[in-house]
Amino acid sequence: MKTLVIGSGGQFGHELCRQFGPEAVGLDLPELNLTDHRGTVKRVLARRPTAVVNAAAYTQVDRAEEEPERCHAVNADGVATLVEACRKLDCPLVHLSSDYVFGLGKGRSTPYREDERPKPRGVYAQSKYDGERLATAWPKHYLVRTCGLYGRPAPRASGNFIQTMLRLASEGHPISVVDDQYVAPSYVVHVARAVRFLLGTGAFGTYHVVNAGATTWYGFACEIFRQMGLEAPLEPISTADYALAAPRPAYSLLDTTKYHALDGAPPLPSWQEALAEYLSESAP
C-alpha cells in the first residue's frame, strides 16, 4: 500500500502522514500546486499510489469572497484534476469536505445526515460543494465531511482556535467569542484515524466524521480555559456582532451514524475528551 497525501503540510495532511508512516507519500506546495492541472496529474501518476487523499484546500473563508476564482480553482478544479489521475490509476480518492456545504442551518436542531441536500452559502461553501460533486463522480471515492478541525503544529498550518485562545489569555486582553454557532470541534488525530480505517473497508461513499457532542465557539473557549486551569476575561457575542465578509453556519452538527455502523470503526470521542487529549500532547 502507498497512500499519496495531497496537502501534507497542513494540520490534517501532516497528521495523516504521521499515522500512515512509511506507507504515506506527502505532496504540498511548492512541489505540487492543484491549480496546475497538467503538473498535478504528472506528479500523481509518477508516484503510482494505491490511494490518494486530498487534504489540500483553500480555507480563507472571508478572502474567498474577494477572490472566488482562486478559491474555486483549488477546491473544485483541483478535485477534478485528482479524479482524472485516480481514474488513470484506478485507485480510490479520499476527499475532505466541510460542514459549510449545508448552509446557515438556522432553526436546525438535528445533525445533518449524509443523504441530505447541501445548500451552500458563500464562495467558500459553494466551492467545497462543487468539489464534492466532482469527487463523487468517481465511483471509488470516500467523501469525508468534518467540522472545526484542530491539531498539532504542521509545516503549513497557521495555528488553530485553541492556540489563539491561549495566546489571547496570556496577553490579558478581553476576549470576545461567538456564542450562536453550534459546532463539533474535531481533533485531527481522530479524523485521520477514521480516514485510515475507511480506506481499508472498500465501503465507498460519503461519511460524516466529527468528535461527539455539540458546543458553541464560546463554549469551546470556556472548556479550553477550564481544562487549562486559566482565568480569562471571556465574553460571549453574536455572529452579527462579529461582522465578517462570508456567512457562517449557525448550526453545523453532522450525524456520524453511518460511519459508526461500519464494523470495527474507531470511536470518535466527545469533543471534551478530544480537547483533553490535544492539550495533554500539544499545549505550550
Residues 103/129, Cβ–Cβ less than 8 Å: no
Show Cβ contacts of residue 256 under 8 Å, excluding neighbours closer than 6 positions. Answer: 111, 207, 208, 209, 210, 212, 268
Nearest 5°: the CA angle 63, 7, 181 is: 45
- The secondary structure of residue 267, as a DSSP letter, is P
Cell numbers for 155, please give them.
509545516
- What's the CA gap between 257 and 208, in Å, rounded? 8
What is the Cα 174 distance to its own chain's centre? Answer: 29
- What's the CA gap between 30 and 108, in Å, rounded? 41
Active site residues per annotation:
124
161-171 helix and 271-282 helix, angle to the nearest 10 degrees: 60
Annotate 220-251 with b (16+ C-beta within 10 A) or e (fewer). Answer: bbbbbbeeeeeebebebeebeeeeeebbbbbb
Residues 109/72, Cβ–Cβ less than 8 Å: no
Residues 120/100, Cβ–Cβ less than 8 Å: yes
271-282 helix and 217-228 helix, angle to the nearest 10 degrees: 50
